[in-house]
Amino acid sequence: FAALERGDPEIAHVLLAEVERQRSGLQLIAGENFTSTAVLAALGSTLANKYAEGYPGERYYGGCAEADHAERLAVERARELFGAEHVNVQPHSGAAANLAAYAALAEPGDPVLAMELSHGGHLTHGSRVNFSGKWFHPIGYRVTADTEQIDYDEVRDLALAHRPKLIICGATAYPRLIDFVRFREIADEVGAYLMVDAAHIIGLVAGRAVPSPVPHADVVTCTTHKALRGPRGGMILCRGELAQRVDKAVFPFTQGGPMMHVIAAKAVALREAASPQFSSYASQAVENARELARALAEEGMRPVAGGTDSHLVLLDLRGFGVTGHDAEVRCARAGIMVNRNAVPYDPAKPAVTSGIRIGTPSVTTQGMGTDQMRRIAGLIAAAACADPGTRDGADALEDLKRDVHALVAEFPPYPLHV
Ligand code: PLP
């Protein structure tokens, strides 16, 4: 870091300010986490300099011995951790992993059945503004208005009516478990491939805190930076017979050279995720989310789908009298990072929304438990109803910011100089 301070004080300043931002607030964005310093070290390594197009043993560049070693370790660790027949660790992101999975399993114009964005699905699950909605023929399934959970009969009806080439499950804002066995049955009935986008839950799967999609899916895509606690990136797990198609879809079809420093960091994170401590972490992340949902319900915020089985809680704020946008902005003023999120059948505009999404991966990594979740629920509720446009509201948010500082100071995520 001293070299960076000398060579580029402006960027050094940004990095220090960002560490301070991460340390001084409550990080409750469901898809974020604090990586270990070992993961950061791999990310900042000279493997960043290396071109290694291709796969271990079959590169298009010389000098790839160490790159091969890093990638083989990452693949082997992922295969073992998830019991997958084949793993590709090269996708640059979750969206890139999904693009490659579509390329491996479908042709442009093919019907693809996936969860609608406004009901918890991801952009890459058929949104009109994304490649998935433009190049494929998306059919969306929803959650029911009463349970706010997936209606598997509707999924089956849609599958029978449209005969999709590919069925996708896995979501961005769905707090409950997904029945992968049921999805497999539906896919088999209509002769479709089943792809599980496990970006959000893969860390919980690694820690055995939720059931694994791997035995049921043809392809599992994921990110490595959410609950899994690795570097930003993507990964694809698949059945052995799809290995070649998946590998070719990643390189050379959708990507060029892999980011070898990121792959090394993925290997580090996968090793960490295989430890007993990581299993305790994953279970604690779920327990914390459940406690947060309970405590926020007591504050008048309604947990969508009646609660959570995972690391995230989706809250409907209509009964609380605040929009998702205002709650997000007010919480941020108090140093609490959450994101506005549409709730199922949301009447509000996407930029406003009626809900917020809250995740426990980061605070659980910091070592917080259920006692702290109750404190956090009180802080969120107090911040969400403090109107910064009024003198009292602005003062209240300043006071809350001090309370947030006091809480996070007990659980520092990184030593001071990282
Ligand atoms: N899939 C799901 C379910 C996600 O939640 C996300 C990110 O939030 C992605 C894919 C995309 O990941 P990335 O942002 O790394 O492209």
Please say if 53 is a catalytic residue: yes
Q: Where are the beta strands (DSSP E) in 289-407?
A: 302-303, 312-316, 336-337, 339-341, 355-359
Report residue 417's pLDDT band, with 50, 70 and 90 as the boundaries. Answer: low
- Residue 80: CB atoms within 10 Å: 12
Please say if 197 is a catalytic residue: yes
What are 344-401's pLDDT values in tens digits?
Answer: 999 999 999 999 999 999 999 999 999 999 999 999 999 999 999 999 999 999 999 9
Give the closest residue to 315 by CA, choosing from 370, 359, 373: 359
Average pLDDT over residues 322-333: 98
Burial zone of 174 (CB within 10 Å; 0-12 exposed, 13-18 middle, 19+ buried): buried
- Residue 249: CB atoms within 10 Å: 24
Asked if the ipTM is above 0.90, the reply is: yes
Query: Does 9 sit behind a cis peptide bond, omega within 30 degrees of 0 on the bond before it?
Result: no
Q: What is the token pair recorded at 384?
A: 């969400």
Average pLDDT over residues 288-308: 98
What are 61-76's pLDDT values in tens digits?
Answer: 999 999 999 999 999 9
Helix residue ranges, H only, 124-254: 131-135, 152-162, 180-190, 202-206, 243-248
Residue 416 confidence (pLDDT): 59
Q: Which residues line ligand 1 (CB under 6 A)?
A: 31, 93-95, 98, 122, 124, 170-172, 197, 199-200, 223, 234
- Cα angle 106, 107, 113; round to 5: 50
What are 17-59's pLDDT values in tens digits?
Answer: 999 999 999 999 999 999 999 999 999 999 999 999 999 999 9
Amino acid at residue number 363: V
Q: What is the token pair recorded at 403?
A: 């309370």
What are 91-118's pLDDT values in tens digits?
Answer: 999 999 999 999 999 999 999 999 999 9
158 marked ligand binding residue: no
What are 215-254's pLDDT values in tens digits?
Answer: 999 999 999 999 999 999 999 999 999 999 999 999 999 9
Q: What is the token pair recorded at 291?
A: 């406690």
Catalytic residue among 124, 172, 223, 308: 223
Q: CA–CA separation, 113 vs 289, rounded Å?
A: 29
